[in-house]
């Protein structure tokens, strides 16, 4: 299978057509071999514009919404980034081409080990893989210029906003199903601004469920 040709078709047919015009983002997607970050029995579908299962209940995000999120983040070459829910390391590999340093946080020990091996094979020497509770973030590496959440969430813990630098950004898809959308948050002192960017429907990232509200 000609993965290089599939990679080019992905960029031209799936990513550019969704208004992704950032040359650094496009180049990152051309540079990262997506097929190396999925299980062997999923390689044939690595470049479809859909989420690809990488472990039970865990998915590699579809190319077009991921590219739009990375463009929305306006990543600078000097940025220090936290990739939350790194999975097998694909998003961290993309971020390694865009930022100065990346912490790839993964809660599943097996996935974390896979990510470490995949990122080493990809030559992503500016990425550090960490294991821990995703909702708690990774305070040891804070503060961050940018936090990227690798799946949809129902709620964003305050602990994550606290790990941003002043003016730092957090990009996430918030909500369930068709009611969800990509949002960017910017830390401003003890609070953060919020802006809706585009509609997006992603698989939920475990550990970010909204607490039930009780009525009296």
* Residue 65 domain-assigned (yes or no): yes
Question: Residue 87 — left, alpha, or beta (φ > 0 → left; ψ -120 to 50 → alpha)?
Answer: left
- Per the domain annotation, does 212 fall within a domain? no
Q: What is the pLDDT of residues 117-140, one digit of tens each?
A: 999 999 999 999 999 999 999 999
Instruction: Record the pTM.
Output: 0.94
Beta bridge pairs of residue 55 = 58
7 lies in a domain? yes
Assign residue 14 the CATH number of its domain. Answer: 3.40.50.150
**173 found inside a domain:** yes
Domain that holds residue 41: 3-199
In a domain, 215, yes or no: no
pLDDT in tens, 43-93: 999 999 999 999 999 999 999 999 999 999 999 999 999 999 999 999 999
Q: Does any domain span residue 160?
A: yes
User: Is residue 206 in some structural domain?
Assistant: no
- Quote the tokens at residue 81: 């980034």
In a domain, 151, yes or no: yes
Can you read off the two tokens belonging to residue 49? 């514009």
């Amino acid at each position: 299978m000609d993965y290089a040709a599939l990679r080019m078709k992905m960029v031209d047919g799936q990513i550019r057509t969704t208004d992704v015009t950032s040359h650094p983002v496009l180049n990152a997607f051309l540079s990262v071999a997506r097929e190396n970050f999925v299980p062997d029995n999923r390689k044939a579908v690595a470049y479809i514009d859909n989420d690809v299962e990488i472990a039970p209940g865990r998915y590699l995000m579809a190319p077009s919404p991921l590219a739009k999120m990375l463009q929305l983040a306006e990543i600078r070459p000097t940025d220090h980034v936290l990739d939350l829910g790194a999975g097998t390391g694909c998003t961290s590999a993309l971020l390694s081409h865009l930022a100065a340093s990346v912490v790839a946080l993964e809660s599943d020990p097996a996935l974390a080990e896979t990510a470490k091996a995949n990122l080493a094979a990809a030559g992503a020497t500016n990425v550090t893989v960490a294991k821990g509770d995703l909702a708690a973030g990774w305070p040891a590496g804070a503060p961050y210029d940018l936090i990227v959440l690798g799946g949809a969430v129902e709620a964003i813990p305050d602990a994550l906003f606290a790990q941003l630098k002043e003016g730092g950004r957090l990009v996430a898809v918030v909500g369930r199903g068709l009611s969800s959308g990509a949002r960017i948050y910017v830390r401003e002192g003890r609070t953060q601004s919020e802006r809706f960017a585009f509609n997006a429907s992603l698989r939920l990232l475990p550990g970010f469920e909204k607490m039930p509200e009780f009525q009296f």
